[in-house]
Amino acid sequence: MRAARFYGRGDIRIEDVPEPTLSEGNVLVEVEWCGICGSDLHEYLAGPSRAFPKPGELHPLTGQNIPTIMGHEVCGKVKAVSTGSTFKEGQAVMIDPRLCCRECVHCRAGIDHCCEKLGFLGFSGISGGFSSTMLVDEHKVHLLPESVSLEYAAFIEPLVVVHHAIKAADIDDWRSVDVLVVGGGPVGIAMTMALRTHGAKQIIVSEPTAARRKQLSNLAHVLVNPRETDVGKQCHAVTDGRGAQVVFDCAGTPQALEAAFDAIRSRGIYVNIAVWDKPMIVPFAHFMLKDITMKGSVVYDDKDFAEVMHMVHEGRFKGLESMVTARIGLEDLLEKGIKELINNKDEHIKILVTPKAENLRQKHSVLEESAHL
C-alpha cells in the first residue's frame, strides 16, 4: 500500500510499504480521511519530537524506529476483525491514536495521557492515518453514530484535545465565565465550538487572520484582531473591567502569551494547549501580581475520548463541515497539504487527506464549499 513516512526534519516520503496483517485483539481499519494536524507541521519543520522513536533507538512500546507512517486524526471503516471482536466489517469508526504502557505509575493512577512511554499511531510506529489501512488495538476503536458523516469525523480528535483542556480549567459551571481563546486555528476553533457546548457566558477569540475570524464569526461572542486592537484592553472593556476568568492558549507564541496575561483577571486561570517551538518565557509581573494559575494540557485520556464520543452521539457538536477548507489525495500530502499549510496557513483551517480517489470525486456539502477561500 502507499503511505507517508517521516524520515526526519523536512523529509516526508510517499512510498510503498507492506499492508498490515490482522493480529489478535486488533482491528484492521480502512482509512477514509485523515486530518493534517499542527503537530504534523511541527514535526516536519522542527522534529523529531519525543513522540517519535529516538534516532538509533526503538520506541519502547512499538519496537519500531524512524521511518514511521504519519497521520493520527483518523476515521475509516472496519476492514477485518479478530476472533471475538465486538466490531463488524464495514462499520464507520474513529480512532484514538494514543499508545500507553498501562504499567507505569501514571497509567496505574488513571492519568494514562502522562504515560512514561507515551506514543501515538501516526508518530511512534505500527500504523498511521496517511495510508490506506491501519492496524489498531480494538480498545482504541470507537463506533461512529450514523448521524456523523465520515467526511467530517476526522475532526473529532481535536475536539477531544480541547475537551481535556476545558476539564483542566476545573470550572464547574461555565455559564458565568468569560473566556479568552488565543489563536483561532483548528484547535482554537475546536475550543470555541466546545466552549459553546459547555454554555460559556462569553467567548472572546483573538485571531490575526481574516479568514479564520470569518470561520469563527458564528461561534465566538467577540472577535479581536491583535494586529489592530489591544487584546487586553478589549477583554477588559467587554467584561466590565474584570478581564477574562480563563484563557486557553492555542497559539504558542510570546506575543500571544503576553496578550493573554494582560487580558486575564486577577486569580484567573491560564491553560496552555499549544505546542511551542521555543521555550516559554512567562510575563513575570502579570503572573506574580495577578496571582495567576498556569496549567498545561496534553492530549487526553480514555475517559475524555469516551465522553466526547458520547457528546457526538448526542449531536452536540454542530458545524464540523465548516472547518474543512481543502481535501486532497494521499499522493499530494506534501505539496498540497504540509507545504500548503506552512506557506498559506492564513487561508486554511483543516485539510483532510484520503487514500481513496473516489472520495475526492464525491460532492461535499454546500457549507464546506463556501468555506474554501
Q: In the prediction, which pLDDT does 99 show?
A: 96
H helix count then E strand count, the chain: 12, 18
How many whole angstroms separate alpha carbon 171 and alpha carbon 274?
20
pLDDT at 25 over 90: yes
Q: What is the mean pLDDT of residues 288-298?
A: 96
Q: What is the pTM of this model?
A: 0.91
Q: How confident is the model at residue 363 (pLDDT cuts 50, 70, 90)?
A: low
pLDDT at 36 over 90: yes
Question: Are 231 and 247 contacting, i.e. CB atoms less than 8 angstroms apart?
Answer: no
* pLDDT tens-digit series, residues 105-118: 999 999 999 999 99
Q: How confident is the model at residue 143 (pLDDT cuts 50, 70, 90)?
A: very high
Q: What is the mean pLDDT of residues 161-188?
A: 96
pLDDT at 370 over 70: no
How many whole angstroms separate alpha carbon 26 and alpha carbon 121?
13
Q: In the prediction, which pLDDT does 152 show?
A: 87
The alpha carbons of the chain give a radius of gyration, in whole angstroms, of 20
Q: In the prediction, which pLDDT does 364 show?
A: 60
* pLDDT tens-digit series, residues 184-243: 999 999 999 999 999 999 999 999 988 889 889 999 999 999 999 999 999 999 999 999
Residue ranges with strand state E in 124-212: 133-137, 141-143, 178-182, 202-206
Q: What is the SS3 assignment for 127?
A: coil
| Phi, psi values for residue 264, rounded to 5° | -75, 150
* pLDDT tens-digit series, residues 326-340: 999 999 999 999 999
pLDDT at 88 over 60: yes
111-125, 233-247, 311-325: least confidently modelled range = 311-325
How many whole angstroms separate alpha carbon 27 and alpha carbon 159?
23
Q: What is the mean pLDDT of the chain?
A: 92
